[in-house]
Amino acid sequence: MIILYSISYQKIYIYSYPQKRSMKESQESIEVMVECPNCKKTKLITVPKYLFSNKKMGTLKVQVHSGICCEHEFIAFVSNNGKVRGYESIDMALDLSKVEKAAVEGKIFLRDLIATYGDYAISSCLHAILCNFPIIFLRSSLEKSKTALISHLLNEFLPDVYKQTLVQVSTIIESEYQESHIGDCLVISPGGVVAHSPWQDIPLKLEKELLTDALGILDDESQTVVMQQELGKIFEHAEFIIKKIEKKEIYEEDLMKDFKKEFKKPLNEAYLNLLKQVIEYRYKKDVSRIKIRSFDTLKEGLW
């Protein structure tokens, strides 16, 4: 059964859709050999087989925590056939052993999510919120659904002026995942594997920094306020760029100069790539109007 929560401020509407179940397949695993991109040590890890069954394209993103393969932490990009297609080093790793759950009855906070799913999965959730993609959390049949609580928390990260369009958060039981129709949404397994992401892969460095900054605040409620403020800044920056490209096409370097003049801070390539995805997916604007001068120069030379 899929349970989809669509939250307004007064009510939670619940929709359910029956799905076929295959408990045996949900318990099977595939062995994957990973190699640390830093020290080259290798380790055989296991990934639930059912996560590959509903994978039409892209890769699984598996966070390999420090101590599993070596002292380093990294992301392994695993294809449908269980082969690793690439790695991403994590330079700034959160010490999850120090991230304790809040243990407050009837509430979930940011550190609860990180302690349960890991920082890469929750960084992906932040990216999904920014780009306005639905989020699906997989769970075991024995696990009580906490979707309403998670949905409430993630939507609290949105600044008030952006809460007209809330993030859709739903849950699917693991054994039903293979038969479920997965569209453009983020899918996270109980172990924190990013089983599906609907955007082109980019480093989630800024999202990770937001988590680190928020966790630096001891008060759980204040962490939510920080997230609202930081996401609000990102939306403000995206809307500034939208105004620019709606008037005319613009080269990246010119946009970076205008951005620095407006906000008194530099716009680097990594942040620009993030803003492009926010503009493309949340605001449905044509980011191809942001041009790369070297490409245009090369095309002119070919002609």
Confidence of residue 145 (pLDDT cuts 50, 70, 90): confident
27-79 pLDDT tens trace: 688 899 999 999 999 999 999 888 887 766 678 999 998 899 999 999 999 99
The DSSP annotation for 26-81 comes to HH-EEEEEEE-TTT--EEEEEEETHHHHT--SS-EEEEE-TTTSSS--EEEEE-TT
41-45, 123-127, 212-216, 233-237: least confident range = 212-216
Q: Which of 200, 175, 224, 181 is nearest to 48 (CA)?
A: 175
Q: Is residue 34 a contact partner of residue 84, using CB atoms and an 8 Å limit?
A: yes
Q: How far apart are CA 285 and CA 287, in angstroms?
A: 6
The count of other CB atoms within 10 Å of the CB of residue 2 is: 17
> What's the predicted TM-score (pTM) here?
0.82
According to the model, what pLDDT value does residue 130 have? 97
233-252 pLDDT tens trace: 999 999 999 999 999 999 99
267-272-274-279 Cα dihedral, nearest 10 degrees: 120
Q: Is residue 45 a contact partner of residue 31, using CB atoms and an 8 Å limit?
A: yes
280-289 pLDDT tens trace: 999 999 999 9
Q: How far apart are CA 270 and CA 276, in angstroms?
A: 10
Q: Which residue has the tokens 């996560």?
A: 51
